[in-house]
Amino acid sequence: MPFFEIQVLVMNMYALSDALFCIPVDVHTADLFEGIWTIPNGVSLNTYLVKGEKTALIDLIQDHPPAASEQVQAALKSVGVDFAALDYLILNHLEPDHTGWLREFREKNPRAEIIATQKGVNVIKSFYTIDTGLRAVKDGETLDLGNGKMLTFFEVPNIHWPETMVTWDASSGTLFSCDAFGSFGALNGRLFDDEFSETELLFFEKETLRYYANIVASFSSFVEKGIQKLSALNIACICPSHGIVWRKNVKTILDRYLRYASYGKGQGEKEIALVWGSMYGNTKKGLDALIKGIEAEGVPYSTHRVPDDDISYILTSVFKSAGLVLAMPTYEYAMFPPMAYAIDIFRRKHIQGKTVLRIGSWGWSGGAQKEYDAAVAQFKWNNLEPFEWTGVPAPQDLAVLEDRGRSLARIVKEG
Ligand code: FEO
């Protein structure tokens, strides 16, 4: 049973050079990535082939319909490589989106040595009950494929699983970076950054940030360490396991990742994410007044309603923004349940450093604020004085809220 059901799967073969190739698989599915994150624009799963005297495949794809396996074999054959004769399978990371068909691979190619970190080898044994033909490589270890193709492995733990490594081809300056620098979004017949229009690149920029916020955010200190570790390499091309291959604007994606890592450590853009829920419109009325104040200060903002908006996008906006508004009513003497869920996701993703204003209405005795205070007590947030009102906000409440919006916007602007 695949970890998600593929509805449409498209595969192509691209040459990065006469010795390096990419087989990106576009996956379109109604299922959720990792069982949590929506991918309405699909996602690509990129496998790479390195040809020296010997051949190595880098990363696989998830479990899939049998036709995909046949497509991979056909793609390899098109560049003169017999799938069954592959010498090595390098697994930078063992998450099943890149290893789901490992058992099938092993059955069809019993000779290839499977290479991973020691932690990766342990996962291969426990997840796939494969015990032979495995090689654990250490940080900095090399693999000579012949014909000048010498691969080097660098451990980058927790980007984003503990066993993760990247593979470096010094002869071409190519970094096979695994999930790092990847994005959601199907490639739809192109691969390289210089093949996409500005509009398309903007789309992938958003999908890269969303991928980072959803998948990598908790490990931002490791991202910084990993990039620092790789800084001595003269990188000409970045080949992630999802999304665009970067060969023209390598610095762009490196800088972008460092910026995302800074969000993960508590910095943010001078923007405000407003996450709100309202049962009968009273909290929404208060939110609208608050927005008037924010607009008066000219600070950019985004709004997300819970539970209507997807948590994947909510998390991304919150991750990126220096300011945060959480607007919700009391519901059965406690927080509005969809907001409680969103806040729990923020906790699990270690969202920190935000300047936060919580507002909302209540009917009888309140209770949301008490539960909220307990929920965020351990968060590294700058919590501004909250504001609540009973029922419909009175004109004086709306005036206070507009003023609070101004104050929050000023803090964000000047922060
Ligand atoms: Fe794309 Fe963490 O696997």
Domains contained in the chain, CATH given: 6-264 (3.60.15.10), 271-414 (3.40.50.360)
247 C-beta closer than 6 A to ligand 1: no
* pLDDT at res. 1: 40
97 close to ligand 1 (CB < 6 Angstrom): yes
Whether ligand 1 lies within 6 angstroms of the CB of 241 is answered as yes
- CA 402 to CA 299: how far, in whole Å? 14
Residue 251: CB atoms within 10 A of its CB come to: 10
The verdict on the CB of residue 164 being under 6 Å from ligand 1 is no
Residue 414 CB partners (closer than 8 Å, separation 6+): none
Contacts of 344 (CB under 8 A, 6+ apart): 375
- Per-residue pLDDT of 318-365, as tens digits, reads 999 999 999 999 999 999 999 999 999 999 999 999 999 999 999 998
Amino acid 2: pLDDT = 47
Distance 99 CA to ligand 1 centre (A): 9
Residue 45 alpha carbon, nearest atom of ligand 1: 1
Four-residue CA torsion sign, 410, 412, 414, 415:
positive
Q: Which residues of the chain have pLDDT under 50?
A: 1-2
Minimum CA distance residue for ligand 1 atom 1: 179
Question: 280, 275, 278, 286: which is closest to 311 by C-alpha?
Answer: 275
Ligand 1 atom nearest 215 alpha carbon = 2
Q: What is the pLDDT of residue 10?
A: 67
Distance in Å, CA 185 to ligand 1 centroid: 14
In the reported structure, the alpha carbon of residue 332 is separated from the centroid of ligand 1 by a whole-number distance in angstroms of 39
